[in-house]
Structure 1
Amino acid sequence: MSFRHEDGLASLSLSGAWTLGEAARLSRALDGLNLGAARRLRIDAGGLERVDTAGAVLLQRLNSRFGTGVAVEWRALRPEHQTLIDYVSGCDAASAAPPGSGNGLLRFVAHLGWLVLFAAREGRRFIAFIGRVVEAFARIAISPRRLRFTSVVFHMEQTGLNALPIVGLISFLIGVVMAYQGADQLKQFGAEVFVVNLVGVSVLRELGILLTAIVVAGRSGSAFTAQIGSMKVNEEVDAIRTLGLDPVEVLVVPRVLALILTLPLLAFFADIMGLLGGALMAWVTLDITPFMFFQRLHEAVSVSSFLVGLVKAPVFAALIAMVGCYEGLRVKRDAESVGRLTTRSVVQSIFLVIVADALFSIFFSALGI
């Protein structure tokens, strides 16, 4: 690069490779240019051999630096170099735009459209993952020896037996709250005895299984994502593939099967604890003895109400386990991805459980159950 200055005209001849490797040296040389009183700048780019994005940024900044108050004239600039400079200039202009520019309604509609497309893409991928899980179950049904029974038992202990204390405590307290609040309201009408109906129907049909599924989603669903995600970070999933094994069959199927088997048992335990909590509060606040409570419960609640709650359990379990494993297999090779997708798996699991519960309610209402 050479620079001349004479009679109000400054001439700059560019040569060589303007690439990333030379960017620091060229930037220092450009910073040292001083046009003085020159009102015209002629830039001869005929000697340029190669220009990459870094070099185009320097050329664009050169043009911007002397473009105000000085007539800049480019000579022998190759079309491909001009295209790259124009592209860099356009990127700078886009990044300089104020963040709040544009129509707010259009931005909202664009963002809403992006969310719809994102949800559709994620839904398609999750459905494809469900298909892979069903295919793995079909292979195991044809050849049961492929099932890792030890892994299933281990996950049944982790998701079922170890979850009994927290599930039982929450269900017991919910039964207490339901009985206390129901009694407080029914006293106004002299219908305190119907608190048994309130506790029985709400716990057996909805609250028992729903609260159990939410607790399991936060406890076991997140654990599935974190466990498989950590294996992805440590490249253990790639090692499984290298051994010729299917990660879905090795990692996903035992977890899904274990949760499908244990969630109905947890829901049954939650129902019992919820009814015990309601019976205790009814005894304390309404003087309804436990014998009277369960006698009234037998008259007020049918077996179908109990079965309605249990029927939902396998479906909720499959949704929670598959969402947790799906997000775990999507983890990238960094710790930040593990935390982000673990949080996402809990949110998605709870959302899908509530949606499924609403669909079950509509279905059973249509059947008159």
Structure 2
Amino acid sequence: MEYKNDTLTVRGDWALANYQTLKQKVDDYSGEQWSVENVDLKGLGRIDTAGASLLVALLGPETLSALAKHDGTLPQEQSALLQAVADAMQEKPPPEPEGLAPITQFLTETGKTVEAIWHLVYLLAGFVGQILATLFVVLPRPSRWRVTPFVAAVQNTGLNALPIVALLTFLVGAVVAFLGATVLKDFGATIYTVNLVAFSFLREFGVLLAAILLAGRTASAFTAQIGAMKVNEELDAIRTLGLDPVELLVIPRVLAMMISLPILTFVGILSGLVGGGMVCAIALDISPAQFMAIMGRDIELKHFLVGMSKAPIFAFLIAAIGCLEGFKVGGSAQSVGVHTTSSVVQSIFMVILLDAVAALFFMEMGW
């Protein structure tokens, strides 16, 4: 390496065997700014990744990348190696600053978290758009329907989840009735425990508990299944065969969830009402016939429709998040575990967030 007449001439073998000698020469020119016109690579001999990384440290990734692209004297394999190393080192994140004040560290971490959340929302919005576009293409063409995976997904997401949903909503209905009886007793209004149980399960608890259970049970399963396929390179095989993984793997799961969750919501509402009615019969001497009469008199059909209307939306988002996290899995078992956990957390968060937004919307609309 020689600097003469405002031109830096690079010659010889830049390989691992000469790393220490080359490193000292590179350190001698540290801090200098080089442009494409000031560097001559015609005398460059053999080079490997160690030597290429030293050239990046010497010239900078932008300058070396430009030289690799436009210098016609370099062999094609050397040009490709320099380009790859320059691109890799150019994308390396800057080192973390040391000695930051606590408030600066807090703001830095907050900014990183907000950026990560925005990135997740951006990816989810794009994936939802891809699912909708595929649905518009597939649904009008019955020959492209995947009936067998759809039926299997309905069984796994719906029928197999019925017992746990029914049991959980039954117990929660009993708890809500006990709570209402305890609080309303002081006001002499224990009869309104029926209204409390009916309103809470028809509008909120039925769909919310079923959605949260599916978020933990099914979204994680979708992520693990698709993630394992990616680790085993099955997704690459599907693309090699000319098939669309979204159409093949995602659409049957999304449609199955949109069928299963409304059914589970309906079962959850019935189980919650049964649990609340049982407590009312045992603790408040409100017979099942009186319980049903009060519901028929005071509870309008719109409350049931409000709760059921949220089920398909929750199901679509849960399935989309579970499948998206599966596609984001890397090449290791640890990545499968990380994204499975992430899919559960994201699904439950989105369900609760949308439920809160829907509650405000229906309240303002008077529904």
Aligned to 1:44: none
- Aligned partner of 2:213 in structure 1 is 215
Tell me whether 1:148 sits opposite 2:119 in the alignment: no
Counterpart-to-counterpart distance in 1, 2:161 and 2:333: 26
Deviations 1:30-88 (A, max 9, x none): xxxxxxxxxxxxxxxxxxx9999979x9xxxxxxxxxxxxxxxxxxxxx998789xxxx
Report the residue type matching 2:123 in the other structure.
R
Structure-2 residue corresponding to 1:124: 122
When residues 145 and 19 of structure 1 are mapped into structure 2, their CA distance, relative to the original with a 3 A threshold, is: same
The one of 325, 336, 357 aligned to 1:327: 325
Gaps of 5+ in 1: 1-15, 27-48, 58-78, 85-93
- Aligned-pair distance for 1:141? 2.3
CA distance, structure 2, for counterparts of residue 207 and residue 80 of structure 1: 59
Distance of 2:56 and 2:233 partners within structure 1? 43
Output the CA distance in 1 between the equivalents of 2:165 and 2:146.
Answer: 27
How far apart, CA to CA, are the structure 2 residues paired with 1:131 and 1:226?
A: 23
Determine which structure has more spread, i.e. the larger CA radius of gyration: 1
Question: For the aligned residues, what is the CA RMSD?
Answer: 2.9
Q: Residue type matched to 2:352 in 1?
A: I
Counterpart position of 1:113: 111
Secondary structure (helix, strand or coil) at the match of 1:102 reads coil
Q: In the superposition, relative to structure 1, how do residues 288 and 239 fare at CA in structure 2: closer, same or farther (>3 Å)?
A: same
CA contact (8 A) 1:51 1:81 kept: no
Displacement of 1:331 in angstroms is 0.7
If the length of structure 1 is used for normalisation, what is the TM-score? 0.76
1:331 aligned counterpart, secondary structure: coil
- 1:295-342 deviation line (CA, Å, top 9, x unaligned): 112112111111110000000000000000010011111111100000
Instruction: Choose from 233, 236, 250 the match for 2:234.
Output: 236
How has the CA–CA distance of structure 1 residues 245 and 368 changed in structure 2, closer, same or farther, with 3 Å as cutoff? Answer: same
Choose the corresponding residue for 2:200, options 199, 202, 206.
202
**Shift in Å, 1:104:** 1.3
Contact 1:228 1:325 in 2 (8 A): yes
Q: Over residues 131-175 of structure 1, what are the superposed CA-to-partner deviations in whole Å (9 max), with x where a residue is unaligned?
A: 110111011123121110111111000000000010000000000
One of 295, 312, 323 as aligned partner of 2:310: 312
**Unmatched tracts of structure 2, length 5 or more:** 1-11, 23-44, 61-93
Equivalent-residue separation in structure 1 for 2:119 and 2:264 (angstroms): 34
* Gap change, CA 1:22 and 1:262, over 3 Å in 2: same
Say which SS state the counterpart of residue 142 (structure 1) adopts.
coil
* Offset of residue 123 of structure 1: 1.4
Q: How does 1:123-272 map to 2 (within 5 A)?
A: 123-272=121-270
Identity %: 47
Q: Distance in 1 between matches of 2:318 and 2:123?
A: 16
Matches of 2:252 and 2:49 in 1, distance apart? Answer: 51
Amino acid at match of 2:290: M
Aligned to 1:357: 355
Matched ranges for 1:35-46 at <5 A:
none
Q: Separation in 2 of the partners of 1:51 and 1:154?
A: 55
Deviates more, 1:296-305 or 1:212-221: 296-305
Q: Matched residues in 2 for 1:23 and 1:170: separation?
A: 66
Distance (Å, rounded) in 1 between the aligned partners of 2:184 and 2:57: 82
Pairwise CA distance, 1:288: 1.1
* 3-state secondary structure, aligned to 1:189: coil
Aligned residues: 304
The 3-state SS of whatever aligns with 2:186 is helix
TM-score (norm 2): 0.76
The letter of the residue matching 1:281 is V
Aligned-partner Cα distance in 1 for 2:356–2:142: 35
2:299 matched to which residue of 1? Answer: 301
Q: Give how far 1:287 is off.
A: 1.2
Structure 2 counterpart SS, 1:288: coil
